[in-house]
Chain A
Amino acid sequence: MRCLSEGELRAFIDVQGDDQAAAEAHVAACPACRAAADELRGNAELAAAAVGALRPARLPAAAETEAARGRLGAALLPSPAGRQQEQSRPPAAASGRRARLGSLWRPAWLPRPRGRLAAAALILVVMVGLVATPAGRGAASGFLAQFRSQRFAVVTFDPNRAEDSVAALQQLGTVSGDLAGLPSSEVASPAEASRQVGFAVSLPDAGALPSGVAREPRIHVSPTRQVRFTLQAAKVRDYLRAHGDAGTAVPPGLDGATLVVNVPAAALLEYRGADGTPRLLVGQAREVTATVEGAASVERLRAFLLDLPGLPAETVRQLRAIGDWRNTLPLPVPADLIGWRDARIAGSDGLLLSDRRGLGSAAIWQRNGRIYGVAGPLRQAELLRVAETLG
């Protein structure tokens, strides 16, 4: 038999070779292969001992495995089963189920081709959650106060860590509601859009539109959505422990406190260029509002969340720096991709954002209880011309 290759020798040591008997006979007779096998065996023993040191004291027991399955959520069914059950349900329930499965689980913390966008959308909700907890009135009703987005502040985040932050939120409690991007449907006319979103949708003046875009927009509307986050003391304790902090107690009253974020209905006007690609987007929505249900002091809830270990330090610093946090909507912005500055837009305070690679610009501002945004592969001056004619 010829000498064994390194791979064959290694398999021989593990008794996983194709022909163990022949290999054994050869190694016994061949000093070179024997020496090589000895070196490999030494390396293997070192690795076995080292990786053995990582071994947990024991495998999860059956009861722990069952509990883990429970925590994964019974809502999660494999898609074939989901489809079968949908077919046997009334259409309304079926579509509701699909929406829940799709939007609750997948975009929330699973990377997908569009995962970064979904994560960014969710980060928005997370950030609102962190700041939208004012204390105050109406304790008897369970409503502690309301947050209103009257102005904006940029909060930077590292897009590479976005999914990490989302997972962190899931570690602190339960999140429910529609966490996906923006489910939207197309409508035929501005009047229909106004009817669906519940306010008069404003169209920019035709004369302000950039040259080369279609005069008639395609119009999409997305419905009101609500996202609820309920803090769970048991999960927070696990989270703290996992971050090396077993000493901090969860303040009384925070367990079960539920943050309710109302994402308003929105209308999106899409103006296309001659080649059919979107050139100008105009979005309008009512304000984002948030309330807290439960017995907790909301200021304490906010302080507690911002104090948690494991949150990105720079993001937390920026959130703390927002003075009027009851009325400020933090806009999560990936700092490496997007630049921004405060600006007066259409007579209101707003933000101008631009893609650092020069791909496009966006403006966002608020006036009279509406959030407006315009965006496109355009110069800022072109966007501002459009902005001046809205509202």
Chain B
Amino acid sequence: MVWVDERAEPATGPARKFDDLFLRLYPRLHDLCRRVVGDGFEAEDVVQEAFLRLAGAPVLDRPEEEVGAWLRRVCLNLSYNRLRWERRARARLERAGRLEAGDGADPGDGPLGSVLRLEEQAAVRRALWALPERQRSCLLLRHSGYSYAEIAETCQLAVGSVGVLLARAERAFRDAYQPQDDEGAGT
């Protein structure tokens, strides 16, 4: 009831900057969160929550690269928290896989292809969840197309340290992911 009259106010100054940032950064942040939580609605919720925090944060006055890194960090943390809060994180992850059926699966896959794709997604998320948080973030960011500089700023480490963290993350991911593959092949 009190929101309506606020809508009429034209955005100026910092408000305008906030809007611009939202429109520019939302799509890729949504993409990143979606990979973690597995659901478009939930991903939107996470990104919106991150922007709500941004509204009151001093970082809003910083250059856009810093704001972007800050938002990515908050988005990843919020996404992880959502999964962590579930008592049965594993069941949740599998459900996240199924939820993709609505808008995540490639319609060209056909029904069988969709099922296989969703199972694969669930297996990937389980393996990611086995990684320490920083490694998980590093791996997700890199293979979502972010540069070493962007990863360094997001994960708050030196650019020169991204390579070694990524190498460890990928090895740990391989170890966590491949046993699941073997199980799948045996059943």
A positions within 8 Å CB-CB of B: 5-11, 14, 16-18, 40, 42-44, 46-48, 50-57, 59-60, 62, 65-66, 68-69, 71-81, 84-85, 100, 104-106, 109-110, 160-161, 164, 167, 171, 174, 176-177, 228, 238-239, 241-242, 244, 246
Q: Which residues of B contact A228 (CB under 8 A)?
A: 1
Decide if B47 touches A78 in the complex (CB within 8 Å): no
What secondary structure prevails in chain B residues at the interface with A? helix
* B26–chain A nearest beta-carbon distance, Å: 5
Decide if A60 touches B164 in the complex (CB within 8 Å): no
Given A51-B139, A56-B40, CB of A171 within 8 Å of CB of B164: no
Decide if A73 touches B3 in the complex (CB within 8 Å): yes
CB within 8 Å of A: which B1-22 residues = 1-3, 6-7, 9, 11-15, 17-19, 22
Given A46-B170, A47-B174, A76-B55, CB of A241 within 8 Å of CB of B15: no
Per a CB cutoff under 8 Å, which of B42, B128, B147, B173 touches A43? Answer: B173
Given A7-B161, A242-B42, CB of A72 within 8 Å of CB of B48: yes
* B79–chain A nearest beta-carbon distance, Å: 12
Per a CB cutoff under 8 Å, which of B3, B38, B104, B165 touches A74? Answer: B3
Chain B residue at minimum C-beta to C-beta distance from A54? B35
Q: Which residues of B contact A105 (CB under 8 A)?
A: 52
Given A14-B148, A51-B124, A68-B44, CB of A43 within 8 Å of CB of B167: yes
B72 at interface by CB-CB < 8 Å = no
Given A60-B26, A65-B23, CB of A53 within 8 Å of CB of B117: yes
* A95–chain B nearest beta-carbon distance, Å: 13
Per a CB cutoff under 8 Å, which of B31, B55, B105, B178 touches A78? Answer: B55
Q: Which residues of A contact B31 (CB under 8 A)?
A: 55-56, 59-60
Decide if B2 touches A176 in the complex (CB within 8 Å): yes
Decide if B14 touches A53 in the complex (CB within 8 Å): no
Between A and B, how many residue pairs show CB distances below 8 Å?
Answer: 205
Decide if A78 touches B1 in the complex (CB within 8 Å): no
Q: How far is the CA of A315 from the CA of B114 in the complex (A)?
A: 36
Chain A residue at minimum C-beta to C-beta distance from B101? A244
* A2–chain B nearest beta-carbon distance, Å: 16
B156 at interface by CB-CB < 8 Å = no
Per a CB cutoff under 8 Å, which of B15, B30, B144 touches A77? Answer: B15
Enumerate 7 A-B pairs (CB-CB under 8 Å) in ascending A order.
A42-B174, A51-B35, A51-B143, A59-B28, A72-B52, A73-B3, A100-B2
Chain B residue at minimum C-beta to C-beta distance from A100? B2
* A76–chain B nearest beta-carbon distance, Å: 5
What secondary structure prevails in chain A residues at the interface with B? helix
**Most-contacted residue by chain B among A14, A51, A59, A246 (CB, 10 A):** A51
B133 at interface by CB-CB < 8 Å = no
Q: How far is the CA of A7 from the CA of B1 in the complex (A)?
A: 55
Decide if B170 touches A74 in the complex (CB within 8 Å): no
Interface residues of B, CB < 8 Å — how many? 82
Q: Which residues of A contact B60 (CB under 8 A)?
A: 78, 80
Decide if B170 touches A40 in the complex (CB within 8 Å): yes
Per a CB cutoff under 8 Å, which of A40, A53, A68, A80 touches B47? Answer: A68
Q: Which residues of B contact A48 (CB under 8 A)?
A: 143
Q: How far is the CA of A301 from the CA of B98 in the complex (A)?
A: 29
* B94–chain A nearest beta-carbon distance, Å: 11
Decide if A81 touches B15 in the complex (CB within 8 Å): yes
Q: Which residues of B contact A5 (CB under 8 A)?
A: 163-164
Q: How far is the CA of A176 from the CA of B3 in the complex (A)?
A: 8
Q: Which residues of A contact B177 (CB under 8 A)?
A: 46, 50
Decide if B26 touches A68 in the complex (CB within 8 Å): yes
Q: How far is the CA of A59 from the CA of B26 in the complex (A)?
A: 9
* B85–chain A nearest beta-carbon distance, Å: 5
Q: Given contact pairs A74-B6, A77-B14, A246-B102, enumerate 5 new A-B contacts (beta carbons under 8 Å).
A: A6-B167, A10-B170, A43-B171, A47-B173, A75-B2
Decide if A81 touches B167 in the complex (CB within 8 Å): no
Q: Which residues of A contact B154 (CB under 8 A)?
A: none
Q: How far is the CA of A49 from the CA of B118 in the complex (A)?
A: 14
Decide if A47 touches B139 in the complex (CB within 8 Å): yes
Decide if B22 touches A43 in the complex (CB within 8 Å): no
Q: Which residues of B contact A161 (CB under 8 A)?
A: 85
Decide if B55 touches A6 in the complex (CB within 8 Å): no
Q: How far is the CA of A71 from the CA of B49 in the complex (A)?
A: 11
Decide if A167 touches B3 in the complex (CB within 8 Å): no
Given A48-B143, A75-B6, A110-B49, CB of A59 within 8 Å of CB of B30: yes
Decide if B124 touches A50 in the complex (CB within 8 Å): yes
Per a CB cutoff under 8 Å, which of A46, A85, A167, A242 touches B9? Answer: A85
